[in-house]
Structure 1
Amino acid sequence: MTSIGRVTGDREVVPLLVHAENGGDRQVDALLNTGFNGYLALPARVIELLELQRLGREQVTLASGKTHLVGKYEATIGFGGSVHSVEVVEAGEPLVGMGLLWGFDLRIQCIDDGQVVLERLS
């Protein structure tokens, strides 16, 4: 098992290392969102800083039921002890979705400063 983050007063925060196209890797503190089916969502300003490769646009449905057309990108990230190539969509805040969590056992200590622990399922 690997501790991958911590619980703050109202959210689970997971630091991710995102590899930038320009070689300037960046740590991004993302929130776990099990209602998000994708891999990773990042704000437009972070996507620009990382110079991620644009793949096109994708229609997303928010929890409110509203749909939006957003930019879709590709990124390489360090997560769960390995490197992954994932699709990234634009969002208001960094989010880790179920696509990235798939294949792992996720445990969250739901207390202030609790651990977020990840274990790869065999």
Structure 2
Amino acid sequence: MMQGFVNESEEAIIAVVVRNGTKLRSVDAVIDTGFTGFLSLPISMIDALGLAWSYRDRGTLGDGSETLFDIYEGTVIWDGKIQAIEINAADTEPLLGMRILQGYRLQLDNVPGGLVKIEILPDR
């Protein structure tokens, strides 16, 4: 099980360790249920980790507009295991998407300082 917290802006936050070889960075990411990818990071973090560019993809933003995203190859430590994922470059704070949460239960107490819990579903 992984745990996080709800911040003062009522955003659910979870720490994720992003890895590239020996470079590690712990990132506090906002859980975004409208984001269908794995993880998005600012390009400055992607550059600092030296992640490899993979391809460009079109995505739809929350306001309905479409944009192109550069996708990078990355590795995270997720639920105690190393997992290869795609990381979107975005000019926002780090966002954790629904794809990485597939097969997991998300629970949160939506008050500032509330507990966020992510645990694998029993049948997984």
TM bucket, shorter chain: over 0.9
Unaligned runs of 5+ in 2: none
Letter in 2 for 1:32: I
Q: Which residue of 2 aligns with 1:111?
A: 111
User: Is the 8 Å Cα contact of residues 20 and 26 (structure 1) preserved in structure 2?
Assistant: no
Misfit runs of 4+, over 3 Å: none
Task: Report how far residue 44 of structure 1 moved.
Answer: 0.6
Q: Which residue of 2 aligns with 1:8?
A: 7
Q: Which residue of 1 aligns with 2:19?
A: 19
User: Is the 8 Å Cα contact of residues 106 and 118 (structure 1) preserved in structure 2?
Assistant: yes
- The TM-score with structure 2 as length reference comes to 0.91
- The TM-score with structure 1 as length reference comes to 0.93
Unaligned runs of 5+ in 1: none
- SS of structure 2 residue aligned to 1:41: strand
Residue identity over aligned pairs, in percent, reads: 33
State how far apart, in whole Å, the 1-side matches of 2:3 and 2:59 are.
27
User: Is the 8 Å Cα contact of residues 3 and 115 (structure 1) preserved in structure 2?
Assistant: no
Aligned residues: 120
Q: Which residue of 1 aligns with 2:59?
A: 60
Root mean square deviation of aligned Cα:
1.1
User: Is the 8 Å Cα contact of residues 3 and 117 (structure 1) preserved in structure 2?
Assistant: yes
- SS of structure 2 residue aligned to 1:86: strand
Q: Which residue of 2 aligns with 1:40?
A: 39
State how far apart, in whole Å, the 1-side matches of 2:120 and 2:55 are.
31
- SS of structure 2 residue aligned to 1:100: coil
